[in-house]
């Protein structure tokens, strides 16, 4: 399976830290943030990766090169105009061929069993499988409504749903999707992947939620960036993919 890392964001909430360095290269315990994501992917055999670039993208390309240092194959998708989480994926449609693929945000520090996520996706025959987690501030993140069979029925309160009461989870920024998701994303312009998922839920496509209780930290603000650094430096968190190699 191939993978994509979304790394084109501007990192505005982390300024001034991101004035001269793109968010994926911010250091955490001696490594750039995006390297943790790459090592996670490598642990589970996802070594063929595409990374989309926009803000200070040349620095990411210079830092990672072709991926050979990590035993991986990295390609890049330049976005002169930022395309968003949906448009960025659509822009590299040919990279994925006709097989399922994994997409992960570059601004998270996470330890999750990707084999289990992929197995959930395949076993359910899902159009897409989103990794979800419990969070007391779920509404702040944007709630994903899941039924008792782990089927996603709503995202951000859409579409309307008159069935059973839904459990509210938050989306971690990790998802496995089949190629038919791409047909719901407009080409050549900015779009959000959540909009595609809302339309798919409305039309009855099979979207599945995979629960995650492992370590997850969004590196979106200075406070959370500091918290992640402290977690690793104090060894309060042990990331399995670092122990493995």
Give the integer Cα–Cα distance in Å for 96 and 112: 22
Contact 225, 17 (CB under 8 A): yes
SS3 119: helix
Contact 75, 3 (CB under 8 A): no
Residue 244 has pLDDT above 60, yes or no: no
Q: What is the DSSP letter of 165?
A: P
Contact 176, 118 (CB under 8 A): yes
Share of the chain above pLDDT 70, in %: 99
β-pairing, 48-53 vs 73-78, is parallel
Give the integer Cα–Cα distance in Å for 196 and 118: 20
Contact 11, 21 (CB under 8 A): no
Report how far apart, in Å, the C-alpha atoms of 29 and of each of 88, 227, 230, 235 are: 29, 12, 8, 10
pTM of the prediction?
A: 0.94
Express each pLDDT in 138-195 by its tens digit.
888 889 999 999 999 999 999 999 999 999 999 999 999 999 999 999 998 999 999 9
Kindly list the domain boundaries of the chain, sorted by start residue. Answer: 2-243
Contact 168, 143 (CB under 8 A): yes
Express each pLDDT in 187-225 by its tens digit.
989 999 999 999 999 999 999 999 999 999 999 899 999
What's the pLDDT score for residue 236? 87
What's the pLDDT score for residue 91? 95
15 band by pLDDT with thresholds 50, 70 and 90: confident
Give the integer Cα–Cα distance in Å for 172 and 182: 20
Q: Give the closest residue to 70 by CA, choosing from 102, 28, 31.
A: 31
Express each pLDDT in 25-34 by its tens digit.
999 998 999 9
Q: What is the DSSP letter of 20?
A: S
Give the integer Cα–Cα distance in Å for 92 and 187: 10
Give the integer Cα–Cα distance in Å for 96 and 204: 24
Query: What CATH homologous superfamily does 2-243 map to?
Result: Spore Coat Polysaccharide Biosynthesis Protein SpsA; Chain A (3.90.550.10)
Q: Based on DSSP, count helices (H) and strands (E) in the chain, helices before strands.
A: 9, 13
């Amino acid at each position: 399976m191939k993978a994509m890392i979304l790394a084109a964001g501007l990192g505005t909430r982390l300024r001034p830290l991101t004035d001269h360095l793109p968010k994926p290269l911010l250091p955490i315990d001696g490594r750039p943030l995006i390297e943790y994501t790459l090592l996670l992917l490598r642990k589970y055999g996802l070594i063929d990766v595409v990374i989309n670039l926009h803000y200070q993208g040349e620095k990411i390309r210079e830092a990672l090169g072709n991926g050979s240092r990590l035993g991986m194959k990295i390609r890049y998708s330049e976005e002169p105009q930022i395309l968003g989480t949906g448009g960025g994926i659509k822009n590299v449609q040919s990279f994925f061929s006709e097989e399922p693929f994994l997409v992960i945000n570059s601004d998270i520090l996470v330890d999750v069993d990707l084999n289990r996520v992929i197995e959930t996706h395949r076993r359910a025959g899902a159009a897409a499988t989103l990794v979800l987690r419990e969070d007391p501030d779920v509404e702040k993140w944007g709630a994903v409504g899941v039924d008792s069979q782990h089927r996603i029925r709503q995202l951000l309160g859409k579409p309307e749903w008159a069935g059973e009461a839904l459990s509210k989870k938050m989306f971690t920024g990790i998802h496995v999707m089949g190629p038919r998701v791409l047909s719901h994303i407009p080409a050549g312009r900015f779009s959000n992947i959540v909009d595609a998922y809302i339309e798919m839920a409305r039309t009855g496509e099979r979207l599945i939620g995979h629960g995650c209780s492992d370590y997850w930290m969004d590196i979106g603000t200075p406070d959370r960036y500091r918290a992640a650094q402290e977690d690793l430096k104090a060894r309060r968190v042990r990331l399995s993919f670092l122990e493995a190699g």
